[in-house]
Amino acid sequence: MAKKSYGKRPCSICRKWFQPDVRQKDRQKTCGCSKCQKELHRRNCDDWNKRNKEEFANNYLEKKLEQVEPKTVKEDSKKPPPDPIHPEVVKILLPTSPFVLPVEIITREYGARNMIIIHHLVRKIISQCQNRGIP
């Protein structure tokens, strides 16, 4: 039995007409040009990041924490705890922001990991206030 042939359709990126691959059925959105495929992938990733903002932010926070203190592979290893990180290193890990935190004091009292977590929470609080129109 012959496969159903689908008619031509416009590419969702460049708007040129193309004949979709029969095996793709209604799923093919682009003409097959590598530029169009990359642009569709970029748009899909952008949409995913907008829908999953929290997961993206959590992954970003986890990467920052990994830079400060990498996870130990084995719990029973006899390695000493890592030395406290110099405040200048923490400043490099933290992006510049409109608010000022006493980085040196927080790092000395609570540690570098807690400093990054505090910075993350303050950023979230400020962004929530800005979204609600609170100055």
Residue 56 one-letter amino acid: F
3-state secondary structure the chain: CCCCCCCCEECCCCCCEECCCHHHCCCCCCCCCHHHHHHHHHHHHHHHHHHCHHHHHHHHHHHHHHHHCCCCCCCCCCCCCCCCCCHHHHHHHCCCCCCCCCHHHHHHHHCHHHHHHHHHHHHHHHHHHHHCCCC
pLDDT band at residue 5 using 50, 70 and 90 as cut-offs? low
What pLDDT digit, counting tens, does each position of 86-128 carry?
Answer: 555 555 556 555 566 777 777 778 777 888 888 888 888 888 8
